[in-house]
């Protein structure tokens, strides 16, 4: 009996230590916790400044948060706009739940999930960062809808630091590097982020993705469509931009066009001239998906025009 007690205590302590390493002791978690809290607060204030008027909310991974300048879109559409983008490690369920938690009747949600989050077999699975964030938030109806609420089972599975996590954390400490690349100093107007980080390994995409929706991706889109209808929110999908080598740019556009046709079977899509492909390397910051200030402006002008056409045709 005493041995069992010791085992239970050891397991409990192990879980608490693991949880601390992945949650409050994790710079990535701390950054995104601060970031998402600030976004929610700013959307609340934006609604107070524009009472009774619908908003445009952009949602996706980092290709959304680094690439959409809401103030540019707002100038074209006349609708107050905000970038609710997060990061792929949050997982699609958390990202989608968060934007729908924030959305109100009449809003337009522009879903900008990276294609990989819709085409992989595990597209609808919760991820470690999403579970970490959800564990310190209210278990809302939206999180339950997408399966993104942090229940004990999810915490036990996902809030364990794997070997790669530990090696990466220790390595950064030994090399004197920052625990996480981004800080709140990178936060810009209306939820956009901007970085001046120099990444010597950054390069253009050289592979044509065979884009086709997975069953998990389809299920996720159906959940988005159904919840949007329930909350009286309009939802559309827009492809993020990827820096791509010239040689495969046209074939990549055709592949993306086919993916949009599949997505359109479940939710409306926004078609833009770039079709998710850019060969202009000067528009990209630290990765082939994160845009510079100028790149974000150009991308937002293109999207804003397409959204204005969508809104005009809808009315």
How do residues 86-98 score in pLDDT, each as one tens digit? 999 999 999 999 9
Name residue, tokens 């625990």: 179
CA angle 28, 60, 178 (to 5 degrees): 20
Residue 75 has pLDDT above 70, yes or no: yes
The closest alpha carbon to 262, from 279, 237, 243, belongs to 237
CA distance 6 to 73: 59
**Mean pLDDT, rounded, of the chain:** 85
Residue 163 has pLDDT above 70, yes or no: no
- Residues 271-298 have a mean pLDDT of 96
Give domain limits for the chain.
2-314
**pTM of the full structure:** 0.86
Both tokens of 133, joined, read 């964030």
CA distance 273 to 297: 15
**Secondary structure of residue 58 in the 3-state scheme:** strand
Q: What pLDDT, on a 0 to 100 scale, did the predictor assign at position 180?
A: 80
CA distance 141 to 219: 18
Residue 80, sorted as left (phi over 0), alpha (psi -120 to 50) or beta, turns out to be: beta
CA dist 196 to 86, 182, 183, Å?
Answer: 18, 10, 11
Identify the residue with better confidence: 207 or 21.
Answer: 207
Both tokens of 92, joined, read 């699609």
Please report, rounded to a whole number, the percentage of residues in the chain having pLDDT higher than 90.
68
Q: Residues of 180-195 as b/e, b for ≥16 C-beta within 10 angstroms?
A: eebeeebbbebbbbbb
Q: What pLDDT, on a 0 to 100 scale, did the predictor assign at position 128?
A: 77
Q: Write out pLDDT tens, residues 2-18.
A: 554 544 443 344 333 34
Q: Which residues pair with 110 in a beta bridge?
A: 58, 236
Q: Is 100 within 8 Å of 223 (Cβ atoms)?
A: no
Name the band, by pLDDT with cuts 50, 70 and 90, for residue 129: confident
Handedness of CA 115, 184, 279, 241 (dihedral sign): positive
Residue 221 has pLDDT above 70, yes or no: yes
Concatenated DSSP letters for 214-269?
A: -HHHHHHHHHHHHHHHHHT-EEEEEPPPEEB-GGGHHHHHHHHHHHHHHHTTTS-E
Q: What pLDDT, on a 0 to 100 scale, did the predictor assign at position 151?
A: 54
Q: What pLDDT, on a 0 to 100 scale, did the predictor assign at position 150?
A: 64
């Amino acid at each position: 009996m005493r041995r069992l007690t010791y085992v239970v205590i050891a397991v409990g302590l192990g879980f608490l230590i693991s949880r601390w390493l992945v949650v409050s002791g994790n710079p990535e978690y701390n950054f995104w916790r601060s970031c998402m809290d600030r976004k929610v607060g700013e959307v609340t204030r934006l609604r107070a400044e524009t009472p009774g008027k619908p908003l445009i909310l952009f949602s996706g991974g980092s290709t959304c948060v680094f690439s959409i300048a809401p103030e540019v879109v707002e100038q074209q559409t006349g609708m107050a706009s905000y970038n609710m983008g997060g990061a792929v490690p949050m997982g699609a369920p958390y990202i989608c739940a968060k934007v729908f938690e924030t959305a109100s009747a009449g809003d337009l949600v522009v879903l900008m999930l990276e294609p990989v989050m819709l085409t992989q077999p595990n597209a609808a699975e919760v991820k470690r960062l999403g579970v970490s964030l959800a564990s310190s938030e209210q278990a809302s109806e939206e999180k339950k809808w997408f399966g993104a609420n942090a229940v004990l089972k999810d915490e036990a599975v996902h809030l364990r630091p794997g070997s790669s996590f530990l090696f990466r954390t220790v390595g950064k400490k030994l090399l004197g590097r920052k625990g996480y690349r981004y800080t709140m100093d990178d936060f810009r107007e209306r939820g956009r982020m901007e970085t001046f980080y120099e990444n010597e390994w950054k390069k253009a995409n050289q592979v044509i993705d065979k884009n086709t929706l997975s069953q998990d991706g389809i299920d996720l889109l159906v959940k988005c469509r159904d919840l949007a209808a329930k909350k009286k929110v309009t939802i559309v999908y827009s492809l993020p931009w990827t820096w791509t080598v010239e040689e495969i740019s046209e074939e990549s556009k055709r592949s993306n066009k086919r993916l949009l046709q599949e997505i359109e079977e479940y939710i409306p899509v926004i078609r833009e001239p770039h079709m998710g492909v850019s060969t202009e390397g000067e528009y990209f910051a630290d990765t082939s998906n994160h845009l510079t200030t100028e790149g974000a402006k150009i991308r937002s002008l293109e999207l804003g025009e397409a959204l204005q056409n969508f809104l005009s045709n809808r009315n």
